[in-house]
Amino acid sequence: MQSAALGAAALGAIGTAAAQTQSSVEKAEHDRSGTNPIGPDNPPLHDENRDSVVPPITDHGNVQSFKYPFAFSHKRTQQGGWARQVTADDLPVATEIAAVNMRLTPGGARELHWHKAAEWSLMLYGNARVTCLDQNGKPFVDDIKEGDLWLFPVGYPHSIQGLEPDGCEFLLAFDDGHFSEYDTVLLSDFVEHIPRDILAKNFGVQQSDLAVLPKQPLYIFQAPVPQTSLDEARRQAAGNLGLSPETFTFHMSGMVPTHKNKFGEVRIVDSRNFKVNNAVAMAHVTVHPGGMRELHWHQNADEWQYYISGNARMTVFAAEQRARTLDFQKGDVGYIKQTFPHYIENTGSEDLVYIELFKDNFFQDVSLNSWITHLPPALVRAHLNISAATLQAIPHSEMITVGYSR
Ligand code: MN
Ligand code: MN
């Protein structure tokens, strides 16, 4: 009986809210109803989240939160660098992708390891040397810099080490929202938990030779800065096996944009141009001031976002009269469920740079503009009541980035 009574009360509240017209809500937000007598709860967050404090009147209903700042994450710092992560534990809507932000000093090493999710990465700053072993047991070694990517498939053992002059900082994304970077198979942890006589027999050495093995997992640790050139490191790794014919890195730093116009540009990297990467597709988007990423949605996967620089706002329409608008800054994670339409507007005076990631082997989207201009015009006009001239003025192809002429 109690739950029935609560249910009736809740229905009553919803009924009252639904009765509020958009214009009365807009008026309320700006008259005494919307005042905040004790002041903003948290002034910096208040200022950064204007579209939550005073939502656009088109926002309505309950939409699962789709923003999480890396600044909220615990930073796990060790000699050699640090890591912090955003998983579905932090951002429950993000079931398809989890991510890590990591810093390594010069020589700082992310220990040799592997795991049960595919690992995609974007180098945000500096230089690193990475290694990976392919499916035929052949080694891969490469040096990468800001703007470059890598992809390590599930179970492939790999490592990352910061180089001179100042190590590196990068973003990792895993194709499982529940994956934790702190739940990986570490070389040090592995050998520590194998009986010493077995380990000695496996290596064909004396147990006494293994007394020096680490007693604790390393995870991130300070190692000597590599003194070998990339060519020399490759020769050392190759031995008489030879190097892998696969390429686990993608030098996006040298890539021309896939699309470019006066409002911005985009670089799309997926299995079509980064062959080994059948796990995570990416669009790296730059939107100039005044521009926006046009209204669109994705047929094939949820979208995971990371904001690299600038300021943005995004509305996600979740169907059935539900919509929410949130503001984003550098270091924030955003997320959009598969098929939910959205735009990303540059709200600042600098370039907005962010990435869109998808758990799939290719990038795919639907442009609202392209769709409604490739239908019988009478059908579209019957839906939207717009004039023939208005329909004709809408861009007739996907532009990715749009805006008024500046
Ligand atoms: Mn890894
Ligand atoms: Mn999108």
Ligand approaching nearest to the C-alpha of 119: 1
Mean pLDDT of the 180-196 span = 96
> What confidence score (pLDDT) does residue 29 get?
78
Predicted structure pTM score? 0.92
Report CA(387)–ligand 2 centroid distance (Å): 28
Q: What is the pLDDT of residues 226-251, one digit of tens each?
A: 999 999 999 999 999 999 999 999 99
| Residue 2 confidence class, pLDDT cut points 50, 70, 90 | very low
One-letter-per-residue 3-state SS of 298-348 = CCCCCEEEEEEECEEEEEEECCCCCEEEEEEECCEEEEECCCCCEEEEECC
Judge whether residue 21 has pLDDT over 80: no
Q: Helix, strand, or coil here: 201?
A: helix
354 CA → ligand 2 middle, Å: 11
Supply the DSSP string of 203-270, one letter for each residue: HTS-GGGGTTS-SS--SEEE-PPP-S-HHHHHHHHHTTT---SS--EE-GGGPPPSEEETTEEEEEES
285 in a domain, yes or no? yes
CA-CA distance, 194 to 196, in Å (whole number)? 6
Average pLDDT over residues 251-261: 96
Query: Structural domain of residue 44, as residue ranges?
Result: 2-53
Q: What is the pLDDT of residue 1?
A: 35
Q: Which ligand is nearest to the CA of 316?
A: 2
> How far away, in angstroms, is 53 Cα from ligand 2 center?
24
Give the ligand with the smallest distance to the CA of 66. 2
pLDDT tens-digit map of 38-96 = 988 899 999 999 999 999 999 999 999 999 999 999 999 999 999 999 999 999 999 99
| pLDDT tens track for 301-338 | 999 999 999 999 999 999 999 999 999 999 999 999 99
**283 alpha carbon – ligand 2 mean position (Å):** 9
Establish if 196 belongs to a structural domain: no
The total number of structural domains that make up the chain: 3
Query: Is residue 359 located within the same domain as residue 297?
Result: yes
- Is 115 a domain residue? yes
Q: Which ligand is nearest to the Cα of residue 131, counting in written order?
A: 1
What is the dihedral sign for C-alpha 107, 108, 112, 114? negative
Annotated catalytic sites, by residue?
356
- Which pLDDT does position 3 carry in this prediction? 41
pLDDT band, residue 23 (cuts 50/70/90):
confident
Q: How far is the CA of 119 from the centre of ligand 1 (A)?
A: 6
Summarize pLDDT for 293-303 with one digit per residue, the tens: 999 999 999 99
Q: Which residue has the tokens 């919307």?
A: 34
From ligand 2's centre to the CA of 156, what distance in Å? 30
The pLDDT value given to residue 5? 40
130 vs 16, residue with greater confidence: 130
180 in the same domain as 95? yes
23/172 same-domain check: no
Same domain, 100 and 231: yes
43 and 85 inside one domain? no
29/154 same-domain check: no
What's the pLDDT at 27? 82
* Nearest to 276, CA basis, from 179, 124, 152, 184: 152
Q: Is 194 inside a domain boundary?
A: no
Res. 9: pLDDT tops 60: no
Q: What is the pLDDT of residue 152?
A: 98
Main-chain dihedrals φ then ψ at residue 345, nearest 5 degrees: -100, 135
Percentage of the chain surpassing pLDDT 90? 89
Residue 193 maps to a domain: no
Q: What angle do CA 87, 140, 150 make, to 5 degrees?
A: 35
Given pLDDT bands bounded at 50, 70 and 90, which one contains residue 15? very low
pLDDT at 17 over 80: no
pLDDT tens digits, one per residue of 158-178: 999 999 999 999 999 999 999
Per residue in 97-140, pLDDT (tens digit) is 999 999 999 999 999 999 999 999 999 999 999 999 999 999 99
Establish if 82 belongs to a structural domain.
yes
The predicted structure's pLDDT at residue 22: 73
Percentage of residues in the chain having pLDDT higher than 70 = 95
Q: Say which DSSP state 74 is in.
A: P
Q: Which residue has the higher pLDDT, 369 or 32?
A: 369
CATH number at residue 330: 2.60.120.10
Same-domain status, 243 and 312: no
Give yes or no for a cis peptide into 106 (omega within 30° of 0): no
pLDDT at 7: 41
Residue 67 belongs to a domain: no
94 CA from centroid of ligand 2 (Å): 14
pLDDT at res. 80 = 98
Residue 312 lies in a domain: yes
Q: 226 and 305, same structural domain?
A: no
What pLDDT shows up at residue 19?
55
